[in-house]
Chain A
Amino acid sequence: MSELATERQIDRSKMHVGSDVAIQINNMNKWYGAFHVLRDINLTVNEGERIVIAGPSGSGKSTLIRCINRLEEHQQGDIIVDGTELTSDLKNIDKVRREVGMCFQHFNLFPHLTILENCTLAPIWVRKVPRKEAEETAMHFLEKVKIPDQALKYPGQLSGGQQQRVAIARSLCMKPRIMLFDEPTSALDPEMIKEVLDTMIELAEEGMTMICVTHEMGFARQVANRVIFMDQGQIVEQNEPEEFFNNPKSERTQLFLSQILGH
C-alpha cells in the first residue's frame, strides 16, 4: 500500500504552488441535524496545491470537500472559492460549480447518455459551447484519459476504471480550475486503481489545483504537497507528506498510520 504502483517518473516541473488563494475556509461548522460533523474548519488552499485528505471513515473528509461545491450546506463560517463566497445565492453556487470539477466514489456518470454525451452535456448547456466545439474538447480529454475509442458506448458497457476516467474527463471538459476527488479509487479493483491514479498524476503534473479524499497513501506521498489528517470532524494534523508519514506528531495520526501502513 505504501508505494504507488507506477513505474514512471513523476514530472514535477509544472507542479508548483502559486501565491493566489483558490479556496479559503474560515471557522466553518456543519451539523447534520444535531450531529456536529465538521468542527471549526480553517483551511487555505493556494492555486496549484495538491492536497490529500486522509482519516478514518466518518471523520468528515467527504463532507468537507462536498461543502466546497455546495453539495452540502454549511451552517456557520465562510467558504470562499475562487473569490466567490458560497451562500444560499443560487447564482454564486452555479458560478462556483462551473469552476470546480468533482469525481465521486461511484462515478455518477449518466447511464442513459453515451460517453461522449456525458462529456459534452455540461459544456453545451452550462457554458453554452457550440456542440461541435464541445465534442472536440471532449475527444481531446477522452484521449488524455486514454479511452477515445469508447466514446460512443454507454457507461454500463465500461469497466469501473474506465468509468472513473470518463468521470474525470467529464469534469475536465468544463475546464475547471479546481478538482475535487471523493475517494475516486475506493470502488475499484486493484488493477483499475492504477489506471485512475495515473490519470490523476498526469493532472497534477499539469498544475491542477486538487483536493483528494483517498486512502492511497502512495499517491499522497508522491504527488501531494500537503496531507491533512481528519478525525471526528476536525483537522487533527497537516503537514508535508514526508514529515507527515515519517514523523507524525499527534497520537491519533500515529495510530491511523500504523493501522493502514502496518501490513
Chain B
Amino acid sequence: MSDISFVRTEMLPEKEPPASTVGFIGWAKANLFSSVLNSVLTILSIVLVLFVLSGVLPWAFQSVWNASSLTECREILKATYGEHHEGACWAVINDRWVQLVFGFYPPYPIDPTMYLGNPPEGAWPAYFRPIATFVLILAAVAPVLFDKLPRKMLIITAIFPFAMPWLMWGGTVWFPVAAALGFAIGYFAFKYLADIVGELAGLIIAVVLPVIWWLFLMGPFADLMQSIIALDIPVVESRKFGGFTVSIFIGVVAIVGSLPIGIVLALGRQSDLLIVKALCVGFIEFIRGVPLITLLFVASTLLNIFLPPGTEFDIILRVLIMVTLFASAYMAEVIRGGLAALPRGQYEGADSLGLNYWQAQRLIIMPQALKISIPGIVSNFIGIFKDTTLVSIIAILDPLGLTNGIRADAAWNGIYWELFAFIAIVFFVFCFSMSRYSMYLERKLKTSH
C-alpha cells in the first residue's frame, strides 16, 4: 500500500538546458552532424556549393563593366585577367541599361513628332513620365502594404489607377477624370437607389449605369471638356512601350485589377442567385482552361477581326485586359479556397448580430478568407508578374523581347548569359520581395498565440 504513496514536499527549481544542446554547437550537432550519414552528406554539400561558387564568382566579379562591344569586352578581359579567364561582360547591361528599363519610350515626348535627341528648351528631365509612374506606384502601394504610414497617403492610392495610364499614354487629363466619374456614378446610384428599389436592383443599376457611361458617354464627355479647358500632355503610342517599364506596367495593372475582380468572382461562385453563379463559374472555368498565350494571341490578332474596321483598340490595353482577366480567374479560386476554410460559425456569428450580407462579407468573412489565402494570392501575383514576359511573343518589347534586338546588334552579337542573368536577377528581386512581404504579413496578422 505505502510504496505507491508519494507526496512532493517542495517544488523543483528551473534548470538551464545542457550546454551541448544550445547555441551554434548544439544547432550544428542536431542539424548537420547528427549521424555518420548526415555528416557525410553535410560535407559533400559544402564541397558542391564551393565548387559551383568557385566557377560562378570569378565569372561574375572578374568582369568588364565598361566597353562598347563584345569584342572590346573580350580584349579587356584578356588584357586584365590573362588568356584563359572566362569573365562576364556586364558592359552590355551598362550600354543598353536605358533601353532595358524604358524600351523605346521617348525621353522627351513632344507632339506631334517625338523628339529623341537633346532635351528641348524647358523640358522635363529625361524619362520623366515613366519615372514618375514608378514613383506613383511606390507611393500608392506603400500605404496599402504598411499600415504605419499615414492614412492620408491612401488618397494617392485612389488616384493612382487613373493617373498611371494617363502618365504612360498621355492625352487629355479629362479622360481619366471621366473614367473615375464612372465609379462615382455607380457609387451614388447604389447609395440613393438601393433604398428605393431594393438592394439587388440597386446593385444591378449601379453596375449597368457606369458601364453605359464608360462605353458610350465617357469619350464625348472627355472631348467636350478638352475643347472647353484644354489640359493635355503629348500622347505616346503603345508600340513605344518596352523594357521593364512594360513588364511592371502590365504586372501592376494585373495584380491590382485581379484581386477585386477575383473577390467578386469568388463571391459570385458561392451565390444563391443561379444566373450570377453560372456566369462566374463559366468565366472562371473557361479562362482557366485556356493557356495565357492563346488569350494573348486572341488579344493581338483575333479581336481585330471581330471589331468593326477602323476601330482603334490599343494593343497594350488589350493585353492588360486579357492578363487581368486571366489572373482574376485564378485569384477567384484561391479566394474561394479561403472562403471554404472558414468555419460555418463565422457566418452564423455575423448573421446572429444582424449584419447584412455585404457588412458580413466586408467586416468578418473577407478579412479572414483573404488572410488564409495570403500565400496563394501572393503566389498568383508572382506568377502573373513573371507571365508578363509572354507578351514578347506578340511583339511587345518587354526585356526578353529586347534581348533579341540587342543580340542582333553587331556590337553585341554572341552575348547570351549576361543579358538573361540580369533579367533573371531583376525579376528575382521583385518576386522575392513579394514573397518576403507575404511572410511578414502572415506574421503580423497572426492573432492566436
Indicate whether A108 sits within 8 Å of B359 (C-beta atoms), given known contacts A97-B352, A156-B449: no
Chain A CB within 8 A of B2 CB: no
Find chain A residues with CB under 8 A from B355 CB: 121-122, 125-126
Tell me the minimal C-beta distance from A213 to chain B in angstroms: 14
Tell me the minimal C-beta distance from B375 to chain A in angstroms: 17
Kindly state the separation between the CA atoms of A155 and B449 in the bound complex, as whole angstroms: 10
Tell me the minimal C-beta distance from B353 to chain A in angstroms: 4
* Of A102, A125, A171, most B-chain CB atoms within 10 Å: A125
B199, B345, B351, B359: the one contacting A106 at CB < 8 Å is B345
Tell me the minimal C-beta distance from A214 to chain B in angstroms: 18
Chain A CB within 8 A of B354 CB: yes
Kindly state the separation between the CA atoms of A85 and B22 in the bound complex, as whole angstroms: 67
Per-position contact with B for A102-123: 1 when CB-CB < 8 Å, else 0? 1010111111100000000110
Tell me the minimal C-beta distance from B354 to chain A in angstroms: 4
Kindly state the separation between the CA atoms of A41 and B268 in the bound complex, as whole angstroms: 36
Find chain B residues with CB under 8 A from A102 CB: 352
Chain A CB within 8 A of B447 CB: yes
CB <8 Å contact, A109 and B349: yes
Indicate whether A97 sits within 8 Å of B448 (C-beta atoms), given known contacts A104-B345, A111-B368: no
Tell me the minimal C-beta distance from A94 to chain B in angstroms: 6
Indicate whether A108 sits within 8 Å of B354 (C-beta atoms), given known contacts A125-B359, A157-B448: no
Kindly state the separation between the CA atoms of A94 and B358 in the bound complex, as whole angstroms: 13
CB <8 Å contact, B354 and A97: yes
CB <8 Å contact, A154 and B447: yes
B199, B349, B351, B449: the one contacting A110 at CB < 8 Å is B349
Find chain B residues with CB under 8 A from A241 CB: none
Find chain A residues with CB under 8 A from B363 CB: 121, 125
- Measured CB to CB, the nearest residue on chain B to A121 is B363
CB <8 Å contact, B348 and A126: no
CB <8 Å contact, B354 and A71: no
Chain A CB within 8 A of B222 CB: no
Chain B CB within 8 A of A69 CB: yes
- Measured CB to CB, the nearest residue on chain A to B448 is A156
CB <8 Å contact, B345 and A108: yes
CB <8 Å contact, A174 and B447: no
Indicate whether A112 sits within 8 Å of B371 (C-beta atoms), given known contacts A154-B447, A156-B449, A157-B449: yes
Find chain B residues with CB under 8 A from A90 CB: 199, 356
Chain B CB within 8 A of A101 CB: yes
CB <8 Å contact, A112 and B345: no
CB <8 Å contact, A126 and B445: no
Find chain A residues with CB under 8 A from B350 CB: 110
Find chain B residues with CB under 8 A from A171 CB: 352-353
Kindly state the separation between the CA atoms of A231 and B345 in the bound complex, as whole angstroms: 25
Kindly state the separation between the CA atoms of A100 and B353 in the bound complex, as whole angstroms: 8
Interface residues on chain B, number (Cβ under 8 Å):
23
B186-205 contacts to A, CB under 8 A, are: 199
CB <8 Å contact, A69 and B448: no
Indicate whether A111 sits within 8 Å of B447 (C-beta atoms), given known contacts A94-B356, A126-B359: yes
Chain B CB within 8 A of A74 CB: no
CB <8 Å contact, A101 and B448: no
User: SS class of chain B's interface: helix, strand, loop or mixed?
Assistant: helix
B343, B354, B447, B449: the one contacting A98 at CB < 8 Å is B354
Kindly state the separation between the CA atoms of A104 and B364 in the bound complex, as whole angstroms: 17
Chain B CB within 8 A of A221 CB: no
CB <8 Å contact, B371 and A170: no
Chain A CB within 8 A of B367 CB: yes
Tell me the minimal C-beta distance from B385 to chain A in angstroms: 28
A119-165 contacts to B, CB under 8 A, are: 121-122, 125-126, 154-157
* Of A90, A94, A122, most B-chain CB atoms within 10 Å: A122
Find chain A residues with CB under 8 A from B349 CB: 104, 108-110
Kindly state the separation between the CA atoms of A171 and B348 in the bound complex, as whole angstroms: 13
Find chain A residues with CB under 8 A from B356 CB: 90, 94
Find chain B residues with CB under 8 A from A107 CB: 345
Find chain B residues with CB under 8 A from A157 CB: 447-449
CB <8 Å contact, A97 and B351: yes
Indicate whether A121 sits within 8 Å of B353 (C-beta atoms), given known contacts A110-B346, A111-B448, A157-B449: yes
Tell me the minimal C-beta distance from A237 to chain B in angstroms: 28
B348, B359, B371: the one contacting A71 at CB < 8 Å is B348
Find chain A residues with CB under 8 A from B447 CB: 111-112, 154-157
Find chain B residues with CB under 8 A from A106 CB: 343, 345
CB <8 Å contact, B445 and A69: no
Kindly state the separation between the CA atoms of A108 and B449 in the bound complex, as whole angstroms: 18
Find chain A residues with CB under 8 A from B352 CB: 69, 71, 97, 100-102, 104, 108, 171
B353, B368, B445: the one contacting A122 at CB < 8 Å is B353
CB <8 Å contact, B353 and A126: yes
- Measured CB to CB, the nearest residue on chain A to B350 is A110
Find chain A residues with CB under 8 A from B351 CB: 69-71, 97
Kindly state the separation between the CA atoms of A101 and B368 in the bound complex, as whole angstroms: 23
Tell me the minimal C-beta distance from B187 to chain A in angstroms: 18
CB <8 Å contact, B448 and A174: no
Tell me the minimal C-beta distance from B276 to chain A in angstroms: 17
CB <8 Å contact, B368 and A112: yes
B353, B368, B445: the one contacting A170 at CB < 8 Å is B353
8 A-B pairs besides A108-B349, A171-B353 with CB distance below 8 A are A97-B354, A101-B352, A104-B349, A112-B371, A112-B445, A121-B355, A126-B355, A156-B447
- Residues of chain B at the chain A interface (Cβ within 8 Å): 199, 343, 345-346, 348-356, 359, 363-364, 367-368, 371, 445, 447-449
| A-B CB proximity, top 3 nearest | A156-B448, A108-B349, A122-B353
Instruction: List 7 A-B pairs, Cβ < 8 Å.
Output: A69-B352, A71-B351, A94-B354, A112-B445, A112-B447, A121-B355, A174-B354
